[in-house]
């Protein structure tokens, strides 16, 4: 069941008896598990994986899908992970050297 004014881009897979609300936007290559409910006015960014019910007005991205703002924060940390790990290693070395 797909609500009115909902758009779904190419290569999106929707399994089972999933119900999608009205006025939703679902990007390309999204995967949606079966037997869940996606609320109204939901936006799902491309290549996301939806494995749970989605409340009205949520904006999701990633796989597994996260709230959009959380995904963006995580992505920034991920991009900086090599630098963060280097800093942690330097701090650990200083702590060991001071013991």
> Looking at the domain that runs over 7-98, which CATH code has it been given?
2.160.10
pTM: 0.81
Tens digit of pLDDT for each residue in 51-65?
A: 999 999 999 999 999
Cα distances (Å, whole numbers) of residue 28 to 25, 46, 54, 91, 97: 10, 5, 18, 43, 52
Phi, psi (deg, nearest 5) at residue 2: -125, 125
Distance CA 80, CA 94 (A): 22
Tens digit of pLDDT for each residue in 1-48?
A: 999 999 999 999 999 999 999 999 999 999 999 999 999 999 999 999
Domain-wise residue ranges, the chain: 7-98
Contact between 48 and 62 under an 8 Å Cβ cutoff? The reply is yes
């Amino acid at each position: 069941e797909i609500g009115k004014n909902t758009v779904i881009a190419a290569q999106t897979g929707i399994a089972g008896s999933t119900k999608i609300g009205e006025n939703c936007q679902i990007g390309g290559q999204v995967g949606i598990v079966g037997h869940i409910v996606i609320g109204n006015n939901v936006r799902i960014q491309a290549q996301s994986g939806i494995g749970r019910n989605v409340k009205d007005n949520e904006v999701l991205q990633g796989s597994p899908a996260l709230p959009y703002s959380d995904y963006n924060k995580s992505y920034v940390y991920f991009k900086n992970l090599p630098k963060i790990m280097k800093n942690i290693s330097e701090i650990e070395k200083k702590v060991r050297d001071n013991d």
